[in-house]
Structures are given as structure tokens and as C-alpha cells.
Structure 1
Amino acid sequence: MVPTRDAVLTQLRKGVVEYCVLACLRSGPAYGLELAERLGATSTLLTSEGTLYPLLSRLRQQGWVTTTQVASPVGPPRRYYELTAEGRAALETFTATWARFTEDVRTTLEPR
């Protein structure tokens, strides 16, 4: 059976979305909806907000992000997520590994 484009994207997302979230936090704290909008700006990284919040919870449990509740000018307080030193180190490791990995994949996929 030939996988669909969506099935392939689902598999690719599993290993990289958490690092894309960390990359979004590299420039400073952000709240969940803000992260969803950044990741949702591309058609392949985030398909629904429903997958983002469990991921943010896992990142917090791993010690890669911290959270702070901040009063919102409209509506309930917002939970802001911020990259920790450990999260920054994890992102740096992923970024270095990703560069080599994508180069190897590109080279392998090229017709000979």
C-alpha cells in the first residue's frame, strides 16, 4: 500500500514539531495561541491546536520550557511558555543534527 501525503507528513512531524516549538521560543516567551499561529502559518507543521497543548505540557515536564501566568487585557490569564537553558541546549543539538540528517536524506533521494 502506498502511503498518502498526509500519512508521510504525520510521520515527519512526530520527530520535529517539538523542536520547532523550541525554535519559536528562542526569541522570547509566547503563549499557546501565539505559538499555534506561528506554527500554523506553514501548512505542514501544525494541523490543530489540540496537538500543541499536550506537546507543551511534555516540554514543561522535560524541563525544556517554563510557564508563567500573565493577566490578559481581554479574557482569562494567558500561560506564557519560555525556553530554559536545557531547552536551548536541546534545540542546539537538534539543529546541528538536523543539518546533517537533511543533507543525508537529500543526497540519498537524488537520482543517480
Structure 2
Amino acid sequence: MLADWESVFRQGLLTFWTFVALSQEGADVGAVKQRIEALTGGTYRPAEQTLYRQLRRHLDVGLVEQTKVPSPMGPPKNVYKLSSRGRRLLRAFARHNIAPFGDPTVQDLLR
């Protein structure tokens, strides 16, 4: 039951973790994946293909920006970063949905 609940929970938070991973600096998909794994203590390991699809959707609506960076070997790398609109959306989401986790009742559950 816990595994099922966590699976649904993770799917719903992929955008949040991706945006947090891009909130400080741009990154290619491999680095975004590594940042998400680090941020979640290794409990969330999104597939790179899933991240590519998600980033394309966010790029299409202006939440993410993409630049091509020359690569010493092979084609240029796509580096993604949050747009100013994406940063505003992340802050609003965090205030509405993450800040309540600081409530004393929730904090008691974590102890």
C-alpha cells in the first residue's frame, strides 16, 4: 500500500522536483536527473526520457528556457533553466503546497 501511494505521490511531484533542480542554475537532462535523486535522498529516480518529455512541455509554455552549449564530443548539449515565469510558478506552488509541511502537526509525524 505504501509503495502504491508513494508512486502516485512521486508522479504528481515530478514538475516540482524538476523545477527545484533547475532553480539555482541550468543543467542538461542528466544533471537534472542527478539533482532530483540528490534532493530526494535517492528515493526518486526519474527516467531521462520522462524528463525530456516534461521539459519539452514546459519549454512550449514558457516555464523553461533552453540553450545549446557546445560539447567537446558530439552534438551540442541542451541546457535547461527556469524562466522567470517558471520561478514565479515554483514559488507560488511551494507557498501553497509545500509550506504547510512546516505545520507542527506534520512535523510531529516526522519525529
TM-score by length of 1: 0.79
Question: Displacement, 1:16?
Answer: 1.4
Q: Report the Cα offset of residue 56 of structure 1.
A: 1.0
Opposite residue 74 of structure 1, the aligned amino acid is: M
Residues 54-108 of structure 1 show CA distances to partners (whole Å, capped at 9, x for unaligned) of 11112112211011111112232100101111100011011111111x356x54x
- Percent identity of paired positions between Structure 1 and Structure 2: 29
* 2:17 maps to 1:14: no
Which residue of the partner structure matches residue 25 of structure 1?
22
Between Structure 1 and Structure 2, how many residues are aligned?
106
Contact 1:26–1:83, Cα closer than 8 Å, also in 2 = yes
Q: Which runs of 5+ in 1 are unaligned?
A: none
Cα deviation digits, residues 25-73 of structure 1 (max 9, x gap): 1111111111111112332222422221111112112211011111112
Structure-2 residue corresponding to 1:37 = 34
User: Is this contact kept in 2: 1:31–1:80, CA < 8 A?
Assistant: yes
Q: Within 1, Cα distance between the matches of 2:44 and 2:14?
A: 6
For residue 37 of structure 1, what is the amino acid of its counterpart? Q
2: distance between equivalents of 1:96 and 1:20? 15
One-letter amino acid of the counterpart of residue 63, structure 1: G
Counterpart residue identity of residue 13, structure 1: R
* Unmatched runs of 5 consecutive residues or more in structure 2: none
Alignment TM-score, normalising by the size of structure 2:
0.80
